Amino acid sequence: MSLILRKVWVITRKFWVIALMVLIISMILIIRNVHPFLAVNAPIKADILVVEGWLPDYAIESAIAEFKKGEYRQLITTGVPLSKGYYLAEYKNYAELTAATCIALGFDKDKVVAVPAASVVKHRTAASAIALRDWLAASAIKVESINLYSFGTHARRSWIVFKQVLNPEIKVGIIAAEPQDYNPQEWWKSSEGFRTVIGEIIAYIYARFVDWKT
């Protein structure tokens, strides 16, 4: 009678220790790098600065500072109708509200244009990008490239959508305003930072691999 020897792979304790260490290191790297990945900054040489209208006032101030230091000819604000105070507000959408805010902050009214988007339940970023595309197509302004001014971890998702909508006619760069309500370097230490980043991770994955209009 002959013996048949077979190799049997056994997961040892050493393997589990190594696997756990790899998992911990990977999680640390993800936690440390996910915020700068989502809050991407990749500006290009552009004539137009496009500002998403839902940004907080301090981010609008930083957008004006970006305009002044850059070589921009025009600042365009985008945005959907207001979700709160619509019937009482002088300005009915974020695009007009942000344009008026820029003027109130001393910005040249001849250099700012509001391009409001249609009222939508979802796909708000896509609606803003489409409204901008249609406005640029109908205007006499010849635009080859823009820089999109967004906010924090929403920036990469906005960048994806605007590039898809404006591609290939118009190149799109991205600038992310830094949030002030939590520390971007230690976002996991505050509830606001944790909710914001985790939510944007899920939204980015959905926009990137399922539906960019989200």
The 10s digit of each residue's pLDDT in 55-72 is 999 999 999 999 999 989
Arithmetic mean of pLDDT, 105-131 = 94
pLDDT at residue 115, rounded to an integer: 97
What is the model's pLDDT at position 212? 57
Long-range contacts of 79-82 (CB under 8 A, 24+ apart): 79/52, 79/53, 79/54, 79/116, 79/117, 79/128, 80/116, 80/117, 80/118, 80/119, 80/120, 80/124, 80/127, 80/128, 81/116, 81/119
Residue 214 scores a pLDDT above 60: no
* Percentages of the chain per state (helix, strand, coil), in multiples of 5: 50, 15, 35
pTM as predicted: 0.86
Arithmetic mean of pLDDT over the chain: 90
> Looking at residue 17, what is its pLDDT?
80
Mean pLDDT of 135-157: 94
